Structure 1
């Protein structure tokens, strides 16, 4: 996992996903959530989990108006111009996706479990969950 920090955007998968969101908009957000929420998906791989966490972070920023966790300039511009109403219905879906990524059939928590930064990552994830409720 190409990770450089504990935040939702601090990994290679999320960095690639940001480009997709800037290009494709809300469709990219919806697809990232739908992949991890697919009932036929038995195990959430790290790439899908990271993308879903980034999508949830973007939805939280759009619906709350709090953009301070958006660190990429292009994404920040997109978020500032996007219509928050376009993702209002996805807030609960984003929370469900975060919960699925944190669940027992997911690679991302397994990878963080062995990290010295586990507690910091858990705090960031809890902040994200709280912002979606």
Structure 2
């Protein structure tokens, strides 16, 4: 995975995921995000692959952008097409996915703990707080 910063779209996998979101019909984009959350939470206590985790984080950032206090996704690596109003019920799914990303065994967590892990985790927790409404 090529990564250049700690943001949700600052890596090749998230940029590719953005393209997949753009390619989905507008009425199916929420389902693309929902599936990214499901893939992460379905791992339970099993090993979580970094690519799956990255897609869930990107999805969470897109959902959080529509929450009060959420930051818009303005990066060139995010989706180019506007997202429809996303269902509010995606928020707790995003929170659960972010919680899972931060618990071992998680490849992405392991990778970040080798470098800027504290700053990256702080960013994930901030994103989670927006989604949780706290």
Q: TM-score range by the shorter chain?
A: 0.7 to 0.9
Q: Where do 4+ consecutive residues of structure 1 move more than 4 Å?
A: none
Please identify, of 98-107 and 60-69, the stretch whose mean Cα deviation from structure 2 is larger: 60-69
Give the aligned length: 128
Contact 2:21 2:32 (C-alpha < 8 Å) held by counterparts: yes
Which segment is superposed worse, 21-30 or 50-59? 21-30
Q: Which has the higher helix share?
A: 1
Which structure 1 residue ranges, 5 or more long, are not aligned? none
Deviations 1:107-131 (A, max 9, x none): 111001111x222212211211111
Q: Which residue number in structure 1 is paired with residue 100 of structure 2?
A: 100
Where in structure 2 are there 5+ consecutive unaligned residues? none
Q: Which whole-Å CA distance do the structure 1 matches of 2:3 and 2:122 have between them?
A: 17
Q: Could you state the TM-score of these two structures normalised by the residue count of structure 2?
A: 0.84
TM-score scaled by length of structure 1: 0.85
The equivalent residue for 1:12 is 12
